[in-house]
Chains A and B, each alone.
Chain A
Amino acid sequence: MRISPEEVAKVARLARLDLTPEKIDQYAGQLDGILGYMDKLSELDTSAVEPMYTPVDHVSVMRDDVARKDYSREDILRNAPETDGSFFIVPRIV
């Protein structure tokens, strides 16, 4: 097994997902198959190859740090699940 049910459960927690024991077993089996297929890449010697993370090799784009107001507070809060009209409200943290 490349990935155990315990590892699936751990990764799910990292990703903030809560899986049932049945789902964990199901995903472990499927992910094991997928990762087995991906191990194909180890056939290739890439020791001298620079990783390519994006097709556009551009330098960082700089712009002046100018304050802009594109949206009103009302707009920004429009899709909030919970708001008091000024802020996003979340369950108590401390």
Chain B
Amino acid sequence: MPDLTQLTLAQVRQHLADKSLSAAEVTEAALARITATEPKIQALLSVQAEEARAQAKALDQGGPDANKPLWGVPLIVKDVLATRGTPTTCGSKILENFRPVYDATAVARLRDAGAIILAKANMDEFAMGSTTENSAYFATKNPWDTSRVPGGSSGGSGAAVAACQAYGALGTDTGGSIRLPASFCGIVGLKPSYGRVSRFGMVAYGSSLDQIGPMTRSVEDAARILQVIAGHDERDSTSVTAPVPDYVAALGSSGDLKGLTIGLPEEYWDKGLSPEVAGACTAAIKQAEALGARTVPVRLKLSEYAIATYYIIAVAEASSNLARFDGVRYGYRDNDAQSLIEMYVKSRTKGFGEEVQRRIILGTYVLSSGYYDAYYRKAAQVRRLIRQDFEAALTQCDVIMGPVCPTTAFKVGEMSADPLQMYLMDIFTISTNLAGLPGMSLPVGLGRDSGMPVGLQLTGRAFDEARLLQVAGVLEKNVPATGFSKL
């Protein structure tokens, strides 16, 4: 057997089921890997080693349970998701000492399925960022090259999974925050359709955009985690009641892509791509054609308006959501304040980082009297047009494919000076959130110039995650293997 931390979730699950590995052995191996790799990548904000050991021991005493699909599997959770009794900081000083009294629904479902939560992953503060440099604690590094960023905002989850610290992680994606770090770290990341996974217990950023999803080292692993976390939850009224299909069964046994039509938006392929990203993604499309898929050009004419639309809606929702941090019920409070208003102001000013404050101010501005119609309402109208653009394109094809990001992972510090420049990195991922569609990043090899992983993005019809997984599962076996970082 290779190093057991390098197994996929599906493989380790098999070993746990047939008792060739115990939950304790798997957990110890993962914790040892965390100890060995953390000094180099700093992917984690907190590690729950003792709780994990105790849980593994209890599981082993009862023996494998075939009714628990993630029995004994160590996983990591982004620190934006509430975990009962353990720190949940959201990458912010304002929540430094916050310990929720409940689990997020997605976390509770992982635990019910027998998973062991090992650690909480680093992130850009309140999920606002594309590099994980914007954590209030420390910047996470890319395991493939520690002078580069892992992407963000779920960069801790991405780096942890790429470094084999666990068999998968939960990330969250408001404008690309699962897909971008998955692409930069060479792993699979799936943002489900809006409404597929309950957001209960996720600290809200942009409530009409946010979704929780899996980040894993194989497509099958993503299917197995999505299976557990998907489905209606009465505590999130935006989670839909549509039945959850059998995603693992949907992967199927077909080794080809006959009958599949792939849409290639010229807006995503024409300009601005680095040669190595264009090269790896084009090679993957050629491979899909060789496997029997047909490709058709499609238009997403409104792509050039997506970033402006997205940032208006996201900051508006953020300014409203973050109003709850007032130093009264939880979170940081400035104790010098003499009045209630002064306490609000001082607590928020000291507790929130710079990018968070910038977005709160921008969001408050676009929602304020006199500007609401020009910015927020206008963006909501363009949002509908963007969705219609996608719906029209998806009548001509089954999935849309393009790159996740114009470049591979860039150097630490390279992008942090100019906020607008950073927002532009989200160009290919944000439309999916505006439209509420499922999107996935699949590693398709290493860039020929940087040697860093390249991600291909698959976008599908609403609630058609099964199709994305099936197509990605076939393609995964036919593109150059990304392999493991040398960390």
Residues of chain A at the chain B interface (Cβ within 8 Å): 3, 7-8, 11-12, 14-19, 27, 30-31, 33-35, 37-44, 46, 49-56, 58, 60-61, 63, 70-71, 75-76, 78-82, 88, 90-93
Q: Given A15-B364, A55-B436, A79–B331 Cβ distance below 8 Å?
A: yes
Query: Which residue on B lies nearest to A61, using beta carbons?
Result: B237
**For residue A27, which residues in chain B have a CB less than 8 angstroms away from its CB?**
358, 361
- Least Cβ–Cβ distance between A28 and chain B, in angstroms: 10
Selected from A37, A53, A56, the residue in CB contact (under 8 A) with B308 is: A37
| B312 touches A (CB below 8 Å) | yes
Given contacts A17-B357, A55-B195, contact A11 B365 (CB under 8 A): yes
Instruction: Return chain B residues, CB-CB under 8 Å to A91.
Output: 337-340, 342-343
Q: Give 30 CB contacts A-B under 8 Å.
A: A3-B365, A11-B361, A16-B341, A16-B344, A16-B348, A17-B345, A17-B348, A17-B357, A19-B349, A30-B420, A31-B362, A34-B311, A34-B362, A37-B307, A38-B379, A39-B308, A40-B305, A41-B305, A42-B374, A46-B381, A49-B385, A51-B380, A52-B380, A52-B383, A53-B380, A78-B99, A78-B101, A79-B330, A79-B331, A93-B340
CB distance A56 to B384 under 8 Å? Answer: no
B365 and A54 contacting across the interface, CB-CB below 8 Å: no
The smallest C-beta distance from A5 to any residue of chain B, in angstroms, reads 12
Across the interface, do B378 and A56 meet the contact criterion of CB distance under 8 Å? no
* A56→B240 contact, CB < 8 A: yes
Known: A16-B344, A51-B377, A76-B101. A40 touches B358 (CB 8 A): no
Chain B residues in 8 Å Cβ range of A42: 374, 378
A46 touching B362 by the CB < 8 A rule? no
- 11 A-B pairs besides A46-B378, A81-B333 with CB distance below 8 A are A34-B362, A41-B312, A46-B381, A46-B382, A52-B381, A53-B208, A54-B194, A55-B195, A56-B238, A61-B237, A81-B327
Q: Is B270 an interface residue (CB 8 A)?
A: no
Does B180 belong to the interface (CB within 8 Å)?
A: no
Secondary structure of the A side of the interface?
loop
**Residues of A contacting B382 with CB < 8 Å?**
41, 44, 46, 49
Residues of B contacting A: mostly: helix
A58 to B342, CA, bound (A): 40
Residues of B within 8 A of A16 (CB): 323, 326, 341, 344-345, 348
CA distance A53 to B380 in the complex (A): 6
A46: B residues at CB distance < 8 A: 378, 381-382, 385
Let me know if B419 is at the binding interface, CB within 8 A: yes
Pair A40/B308 contact, Cβ less than 8 Å = yes
Q: Are A52 and B387 in contact (CB under 8 A)?
A: yes
Residues of B contacting A52 in the complex (Cβ-Cβ under 8 angstroms): 380-381, 383-384, 387
Q: Tell me, in angstroms, the Cα distance from A50 to B377 when the chains sit together.
A: 9
Residues of chain B within 8 A of A8, CB atoms compared: 361
B238 touches A58 (CB 8 A): yes
For B423, the chain A residues whose CB sits under 8 A away are 34
User: Which of chain A's residues have a CB closer than 8 A to the CB of B486?
Assistant: none
Instruction: Report if B429 contacts A (CB, 8 A).
Output: no
Q: Which of B308, B323, B339, B345 contacts A18 (CB 8 A)?
A: B345
Query: For residues 311 through 350 of chain B, which have their beta carbon under 8 Å from a beta carbon of chain A?
Result: 311-312, 319, 323, 326-333, 335, 337-346, 348-349
How far does the Cβ of A85 sit from chain B's closest Cβ, in whole Å? 15
Q: Which 9 A-B pairs have the closest CB atoms?
A: A55-B436, A51-B380, A81-B333, A79-B330, A52-B384, A46-B381, A49-B381, A61-B237, A55-B194
The CA of A52 and the CA of B209, in the complex, are separated in Å by 12
**Chain A residue nearest in CB terms to B309:** A41
Output the least CB separation between B43 and chain A (Å): 26
B205 on the A face (CB < 8 A):
no
Complex: chain A residue closest to B332, CB-CB: A81
Contacts of B362 in A (CB 8 A): 31, 34-35
Assess whether B375 is interfacial by the CB under 8 Å rule: yes
